[in-house]
Amino acid sequence: MTIRSKAALALAGLLVFALAGFSQFAVAQDVAHFVSGVVKHVDKDTKTMVVKATDGTEHTIKYTDKTTWKGTKDAGEGIADGSKVTVKYTEKGGEKTAEAVKTAGKDVGKAVSQ
């Protein structure tokens, strides 16, 4: 084996090692975020809700069959406009997906939602 072959083999090994490390970094990007606020809108057909946070920002969050619910029925049946919620979500490609939703009830904080 020539020196050039050994160098090429070593470079290829380093490249494989670097790509493996990058893929682990990409997987570690699933960081949980939290938002608390008032539900401004719920679309049960697309399984999304818009939550207006206390700072005025609006978050469109998708929920799935894997989303856990506390203080309401499963799959968002008890969530309605005006409900005060705290949502734990992850974000991938700009899409927020709820992992868990906790509600304090309906019509709480109507002033924030308007």
Of residues 25 and 63, more confidently modeled: 63
Tokens of 11: 């470079």
Tens digit of pLDDT for each residue in 37-93? 999 999 989 999 999 999 999 999 999 989 988 887 656 677 888 989 999 999 998
Give the whole-number percent of the chain exceeding pLDDT 90: 44
Q: Is the pLDDT of residue 110 over 60?
A: no
Query: How far is residue 31's CA from residue 15's CA, in Å, rounded to a whole number?
Result: 27
Report the pLDDT value the prediction gives residue 49, as an integer from 0 to 100: 94
Q: Which CATH superfamily is domain 33-113 in?
A: Copper binding periplasmic protein CusF (2.40.50.320)
What are the boundaries of each domain within the chain? Answer: 1-29, 33-113
Average pLDDT over residues 86-111: 80
> 71, 96, 68, 67: which is closest to 85 by C-alpha?
71
Report the pLDDT value the prediction gives residue 40, as an integer from 0 to 100: 95
Given pLDDT bands bounded at 50, 70 and 90, which one contains residue 103? confident
Report the pLDDT value the prediction gives residue 78, as an integer from 0 to 100: 73
Find where tokens 């009830």 sit: 105
Q: Is the pLDDT of residue 29 over 80?
A: no
Q: Which stretches of the chain are DSSP H helices?
A: 3-27, 110-113
CA angle 21, 26, 28 (to 5 degrees): 95
Contacts 24+ apart (CB under 8 A), 52-60: 52/112, 52/113, 54/112, 59/35, 59/87, 59/96, 60/96
